[in-house]
């Protein structure tokens, strides 16, 4: 089967495919001239299935999110055509057949390894994640050694602090930490969020196939193109923040689009593109659905960001440390928020986030 026959079989012309590649590369901030090169790289991948997807301690939310696409989207096409060789949820094979597919792909090498979920840190904790009768940690290490590059999807895989690592019981760690402890230097691209968005996964795979190198990353290993801006700076409720209108009563219809800072919103410290690229093929995202940002793209989520639905006393907004409380609402808090704006803008300029790219990660105090 030719490399575009897979697309034809799905009723998608080469022209449509090129258009979808143009959309995907544009989302990456790449010049339009790159689209044909990206299409060629993905086209070549049709004949050379390059992906192993391993699942450790996780809820499968990142898989669900990645495959939640609307027909026919770039994500669906690319996921289908990449022929992911091993993925416990979506692969047709089971049992020994599945393990054989994994072993063969491993032996061939030259694959991209996608990791979903965290891992036990050492032999002592291995019992918390056994897959196919084998400690997941060992499987991850052997695959990581042979992979060209690793994409850690979701908060759990990135730093181990997601839900499976929220208590001390599992002592779960992320991919980068495990590899560092074991002296493995394969590059790791972290794509946090709980769950990751399909556009982020697909865009990163396309970027890697096109350029054969990892995109520019911040200090948490996240591509700047997706995690370079503060959610707070692009939030649709930002005008309410500036006006000092903070939601206190969920049942008051007048407050329904107020700023959710007092309800635990972590947007002022969370670097993500969630305000502009939504989940489920742009169907919606947390703040638009009425939920505060939980900070899931930041290292330390979930435990460091708990409680999620009330303002944590330890959560200080730069320049507004501790000042915003229900008592202040209606008493000039807009000026306080304006003070934050001045502080934030000056800070962003000083740190190079405005005017030029920065490798700094979020979580400023």
The residues annotated with a catalytic role in the active site are: 59, 62, 156, 194, 232, 235, 259, 265, 274, 286, 293, 296
Distance CA(252)–CA(193), nearest Å, equals: 30
* Closest C-alpha to 230, from 271, 169, 282, 174: 271
Torsion of CA 6, 7, 8, 9, to 10 degrees: 50
Question: Which is nearer to ligand SF4, 101 or 324 (by Cβ)?
Answer: 324
Site size toward ligand SF4 (CB under 6 A) is: 14
Site string for ligand SF4, 250-269 (x = CB under 6 A): ---------xxx---x-xx-
Per CB under 6 A, the segment of 74-82, 207-215, 230-238, 350-358 that binds ligand SF4 is 230-238
Q: What is the rounded CA–CA span in Å between residue 262 and residue 205?
A: 38
**Helix, strand, coil % in the chain, rounded to nearest 5:** 45, 10, 45
The answer to whether 152 contacts ligand SF4 (rule: CB under 6 A) is: no
Q: Which long-range contacts (CB under 8 A, 24 or more apart) does 15-19 make?
A: 16/72, 17/77
Q: Give the DSSP letter string of 339-359.
A: HHHHHHHHHHHHTTTTTS---
> At its nearest, how many Å lie between ligand SF4 and the CB of residue 125?
36
State how far the Cα of 360 lies from the Cα of 185, in Å rounded to an integer: 22
Instruction: Report, in Å, the least distance between residue 196 CB and ligand SF4.
Output: 20
Nearer to ligand SF4, 43 or 319 (CB): 319
Binding mask 276-295 toward ligand SF4 (x if CB under 6 A, else -) reads -----------x-----x--
Least distance (Å) between residue 291 CB and ligand SF4: 10
Nearest CB to ligand SF4, comparing residues 178 and 259: 259
Closest approach of Cβ 169 to ligand SF4, in Å? 31
List, in sequence order, every beta strand (DSSP E) within the chain.
51-55, 86-87, 112-116, 130-131, 134-135, 149-153, 188-191
Q: Which residue number, 136 or 301, has a Cβ lying nearer to ligand SF4?
A: 301
Minimum Å distance from CB 86 to ligand SF4? Answer: 38
Which chain residues interact with ligand SF4 by CB under 6 A? 231-232, 235, 237-238, 241, 259-261, 265, 267-268, 287, 293
């Amino acid at each position: 089967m030719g490399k575009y026959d897979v697309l034809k079989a799905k009723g998608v012309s080469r022209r449509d495919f090129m258009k979808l590649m143009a959309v995907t590369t544009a989302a990456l901030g790449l010049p339009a001239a790159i689209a044909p090169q990206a299409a060629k790289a993905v086209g070549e991948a049709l004949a050379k299935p390059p992906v192993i997807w391993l699942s450790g301690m996780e809820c499968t939310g990142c898989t669900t999110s990645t495959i939640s696409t609307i027909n026919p989207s770039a994500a669906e096409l690319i996921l289908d055509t990449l022929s992911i060789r091993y993925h416990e949820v979506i692969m047709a094979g089971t049992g020994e057949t599945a393990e054989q597919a994994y072993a063969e792909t491993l032996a061939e090498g030259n694959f991209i390894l996608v990791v979903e979920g965290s891992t036990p840190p050492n032999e002592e904790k291995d019992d918390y994640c056994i897959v196919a009768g084998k400690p997941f940690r060992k499987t991850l290490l052997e695959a990581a050694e042979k992979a060209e590059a690793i994409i850690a999807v979701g908060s759990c895989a990135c730093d181990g602090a997601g839900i499976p690592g929220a208590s001390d019981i599992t002592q779960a760690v992320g991919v980068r930490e495990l590899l560092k402890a074991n002296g493995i230097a394969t590059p790791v691209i972290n794509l946090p969020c709980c769950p990751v968005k399909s556009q982020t996964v697909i865009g990163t795979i396309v970027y890697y196939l096109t350029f054969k190198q990892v995109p520019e990353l911040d200090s948490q290993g996240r591509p700047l193109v997706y995690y370079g801006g503060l959610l707070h700076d692009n939030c649709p409720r930002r005008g309410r923040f500036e006006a000092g209108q903070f939601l206190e009563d969920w049942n008051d219809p007048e407050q329904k689009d107020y700023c959710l800072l007092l309800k635990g919103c972590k947007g002022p410290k969370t670097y993500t593109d969630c305000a502009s690229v939504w989940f489920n093929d742009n169907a919606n995202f947390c703040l638009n659905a009425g939920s505060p940002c939980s900070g899931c793209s930041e290292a330390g989520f979930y435990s460091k960001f708990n409680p999620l639905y009330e303002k944590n006393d330890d959560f200080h907004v730069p320049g507004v440390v501790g000042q915003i409380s229900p008592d202040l609402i209606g008493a000039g808090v807009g000026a306080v928020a304006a003070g934050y704006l001045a502080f934030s803008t000056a800070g962003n300029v000083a740190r190079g986030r405005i005017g030029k790219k920065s490798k700094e990660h979020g979580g400023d105090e």
